[in-house]
Amino acid sequence: MAQAAEARTGNGAGRPAGEVVLDVRDISLSFGGVRAIDGVSFDIREGEVRAIIGPNGAGKSSLLNVINGFYHPQEGTITYRGVPRSRMRPHQAAASGIARTFQNIALFKGMTVLDNLMTGRNLKMHRNFLWQALYLGPAKREEMEHRDAVERVIDFLEIQAIRKTPVNRLPYGLQKRVELGRALAAEPDLLLLDEPMAGMNTEEKEDMCRFVLDTNDQLGTTIVLIEHDMGVVMDISDRVVVLDYGRKIADGTPDEVRADQRVIDAYLGVAHDDGD
Amino acid sequence: MIYREAGQFKTSYGADQAMLPIAQDRWVIAAVVAVMLILVPFLASEYMLQAILIPFLILSLAAIGLNLLTGYAGQLSLGTAAFMAVGGYMAYKFTTAFPGLNLLVVFLLSGVCAAGVGLVFGIPSLRIKGFYLAVATLAAQFFLNWTFNKVPWFYNYNPSGTITVPPREMLGVMVGGPEATAETRYFIALLVVVVLTVAAKNLVRGRIGRSWMAIRDMDIAAEIIGFRPYQTKLLAFAISSFYCGVAGAMYLCLYLGSAESEAYSIELSFEVLFMVIIGGLGSLLGSFLGAAFIVLLPIFLTNAPQLVGLTLPIDLQKHIELMVFGGLIVYFLIVEPRGLARLWQIAKEKLRRWPFPY
């Protein structure tokens, strides 16, 4: 609780973090004999950029999968907006305002960028199939409203030129951006990003950082970020959780985490110091 | 050059989302429909309508039905003919039980019945995928064929076991039974096919179509975005079966006239599946191209030797036809595995630039 008024350190916005959106308490998740997550607790506050870091296999992606209801932890509780959550299907998590991107791009390959983004609006569209088949009045109006919302996302991410391109023809960096767009089209409260900058060159990473920070600043979206690029993590996140072998080994501001001896030993490495 | 859309500015999202956003496409489709509606009935002979155009239209509709399920929603099905049989038998039951019922209403109700049956046989898709699902739908094919053969209620306890369309009128014109002319039946088939094709296009370009394609392309991501895989797949089965059911009802009422359950055998299922694969999965245009390929090519091949003045023994000619037909299927699948619709797409992209290299 001492960190309640922790200010943003990275980009100097100096905005105090809000109240707790999501509270994870003593979560444990096993696959057979493998303990992927072992008694992890942390919280996510309104409007912050929360990074989860750790070596490969530390349980970061599993943690995201737990948050959006894809895995169900054997132990522990998750409280979302003050309500303890029981077993939840992924589409219920989506309906409650949680969106995510994937470590390996999970776009719908056969569809255009526009259609991919439109799928993000799916939960806000309600006309049934008979209206759709007629494509008159309400169904058409609904489609246009959501097209309008999607076009705003397209402008935001600067992907106007490729809106009619099938995503499987796009280069990797743009696919990552489109995937972010699909998540943003849902207008989430909580956005989970699983390695949004993996495999990108410096310019692409800079662009992506800008989009993540803009999302956080302009749209007020709370962001949970898994990332391996330490420079990026230390620059853009407000608070960092460090996992190792499924356990939490550190939690705090980037500066605190960077100074933590256990983190240095476990993750940033003793042999080389690319962390700073 | 021909397909250049330069100068066609869209000023609203509505215009951009239109069914055919490019003017040339609109002209082509309008021309095709106009020819089918006005010229064909005058020029075509009775044989041409009965043996070529009516089955082409009806099988196109069945191919659209299967394409919605397999091409758009990614659920492989070998039970198409079974759902067509439901349509056919229910059309027979409806029209004999309520002789005053308009034939179009009969088609609609038969389609709804087929949709219900399709829904039930779609339930395994919630658990199994791909080839295993195909085998499960095969069960639908055998079970329904057996049912229509063994339960006399379906053929009104008729000792011969065949179902025959009784004479039916619509607006004072004979549309069912032996006295209905091929032209009338052709017009009705054309009307139903055009209306249902427009409806299918509306479905696949909207939310429903996107949900199907999302499930097809990556079901886990689709679920995390908020699509419900169960509802989405079941809706695909229901709507696909509706289309197959209407096609089956028309197959009986407008094409065959009378049929046994053998008319809706597994060969028909495979035929429709080939249409969809050769025409192009996930393309409505492909359904028509595939149906044209499967229906027209054998007829063309049969008549080709005479056209060049060659007289062959009838059995040799039949064998040659089968060999050439098989060869062409293999050839087209090697040239473009994504079907004739994809070839058309590539041609269109080339036409946009022609005669310039880029």
Q: Note whether A115 contacts B: Cβ–Cβ < 8 A.
A: yes
Q: Note whether A120 contacts B: Cβ–Cβ < 8 A.
A: yes
Name the percent of chain B lying above pLDDT 90.
34
Q: Note whether B11 contacts A: Cβ–Cβ < 8 A.
A: no
Which residue of B10, B224, B230, B242 is the best one to mutate when testing the A interface, meaning the one whose CB has the most A CBs within 10 A?
B224
Q: What angle do CA B251, B255, B261 make, to 5 degrees?
A: 50
Q: Collect all residues of chain B within an 8 Å Cβ-Cβ radius of residue A151.
A: 13
Query: Has residue A230 been placed in a domain?
Result: yes
Could you tell me if A25 and A63 lie in one domain? yes
**Cβ atoms within 10 Å, residue B196:** 21
Query: Which amino acid makes up residue A60?
Result: K
Of B218, B224, B235, the CB nearest to A70: B224
Q: Note whether A103 contacts B: Cβ–Cβ < 8 A.
A: no
Single residue among A141, A158, A186 that ends a domain in this structure: A186
Q: Nearest chain B residue to A125 by CA: give it.
A: B207
Q: What is the pLDDT of residue B2?
A: 65
Could you tell me if A3 and A88 lie in one domain? yes
Average pLDDT over residues A110-137: 84
- Nearest-neighbour CA in chain A from B107: distance (Å): 17
- Nearest-neighbour CA in chain B from A103: distance (Å): 12
- The CATH number for A254's domain is 3.40.50.300
Q: Does residue A41 register a pLDDT over 70?
A: yes
- Nearest-neighbour CA in chain B from A153: distance (Å): 15
Domain that holds residue A275: 1-97+188-276
Average pLDDT over residues B230-244: 93
Q: What is the pLDDT of residue B334?
A: 84
Could you tell me if A86 and A2 lie in one domain? yes
Average pLDDT over residues B164-180: 76
Q: Note whether A217 contacts B: Cβ–Cβ < 8 A.
A: no
Of B12, B199, B282, the CB nearest to A110: B282
Could you tell me if A178 and A199 lie in one domain? no
- Nearest-neighbour CA in chain A from B213: distance (Å): 7
Query: Has residue A272 been placed in a domain?
Result: yes
Q: What is the pLDDT of residue A270?
A: 59
Could you tell me if A194 and A83 lie in one domain? yes
- φ/ψ (deg, to 5) at B312: -115, 155
**Cβ atoms within 10 Å, residue A196:** 26
Q: Does residue A127 register a pLDDT over 60?
A: yes
**Cβ atoms within 10 Å, residue B89:** 28
CB contact under 8 A, B224 and A107: no
Of B17, B217, B239, the CB nearest to A143: B17
Q: Collect all residues of chain A within an 8 Å Cβ-Cβ radius of residue B207.
A: 118, 122, 125, 127, 132, 143
Q: What is the pLDDT of residues B316-332, one digit of tens each?
A: 888 888 888 888 888 88
Which long-range contacts link A122-127 to residues 24+ away (Cβ below 8 Å)? A122/B207, A122/B210, A122/B211, A122/B225, A122/B226, A122/B227, A123/A91, A123/A94, A123/A95, A123/A186, A123/B226, A124/A186, A124/A187, A125/B207, A127/B207
pLDDT band with cut points at 50, 70 and 90 for residue A50:
very high
* Mean pLDDT, rounded, of chain A: 84
Q: What is the pLDDT of residue A12?
A: 41
Could you tell me if A148 and A197 lie in one domain? no
CB contact under 8 A, A118 and B207: yes
Q: Collect all residues of chain A within an 8 Å Cβ-Cβ radius of residue B208.
A: 129, 132
Q: Does residue B302 register a pLDDT over 90?
A: no
Reported ipTM = 0.83
Could you tell me if A128 and A93 lie in one domain? no
Query: Has residue A118 been placed in a domain?
Result: yes
To the question of domain B44-353 being in CATH 1.10.3470, the answer is yes
Could you tell me if A143 and A69 lie in one domain? no
Query: Has residue A103 been placed in a domain?
Result: no
pLDDT band with cut points at 50, 70 and 90 for residue A268:
low
Q: How remote is the C-alpha of A53 from its chain's centroid?
A: 13
Tokens 């870091």 locate to A53
pLDDT band with cut points at 50, 70 and 90 for residue A11:
very low
Q: Note whether A144 contacts B: Cβ–Cβ < 8 A.
A: yes
Which residue of B225, B231, B239 is the best one to mutate when testing the A interface, meaning the one whose CB has the most A CBs within 10 A?
B225
Could you tell me if A192 and A262 lie in one domain? yes
Average pLDDT over residues A45-50: 91
Could you tell me if A192 and A91 lie in one domain? yes
Q: What is the pLDDT of residue B175?
A: 72
Of A91, A134, A139, the CB nearest to B227: A91
CB contact under 8 A, A110 and B216: yes
Q: Provide CB contacts within 8 A for B102, sequence distance 6+.
A: B170
Residues comprising chain A, all counted = 276
**Cβ atoms within 10 Å, residue B191:** 13
Q: Collect all residues of chain B within an 8 Å Cβ-Cβ radius of residue A182.
A: 225
Single residue among A186, A221, A253 that ends a domain in this structure: A186
Q: Note whether B282 contacts A: Cβ–Cβ < 8 A.
A: yes
Could you tell me if A114 and A172 lie in one domain? yes
Could you tell me if A9 and A47 lie in one domain? yes
CB contact under 8 A, A111 and B227: no
Q: Note whether A113 contacts B: Cβ–Cβ < 8 A.
A: no
pLDDT band with cut points at 50, 70 and 90 for residue A7:
very low
Q: Note whether B10 contacts A: Cβ–Cβ < 8 A.
A: no
Q: What is the pLDDT of residue A267?
A: 65
Tokens 């007020």 locate to A220
Q: What is the pLDDT of residue A1?
A: 34
**Cβ atoms within 10 Å, residue B293:** 21
CB contact under 8 A, A106 and B220: yes
Q: Note whether B227 contacts A: Cβ–Cβ < 8 A.
A: yes
Total domains present in chain A: 2
Which residue of B13, B196, B207 is the best one to mutate when testing the A interface, meaning the one whose CB has the most A CBs within 10 A?
B207
Q: What is the pLDDT of residue A214?
A: 92
Query: Which amino acid makes up residue B249?
Result: A
Query: Which amino acid makes up residue A247?
Result: R
* Of B184 and A275, more confident: B184
Single residue among A186, A206, A237 that ends a domain in this structure: A186
Q: What is the pLDDT of residue A269?
A: 61
For chain B, give every domain's residue range: 44-353
Of B207, B224, B227, the CB nearest to A132: B207
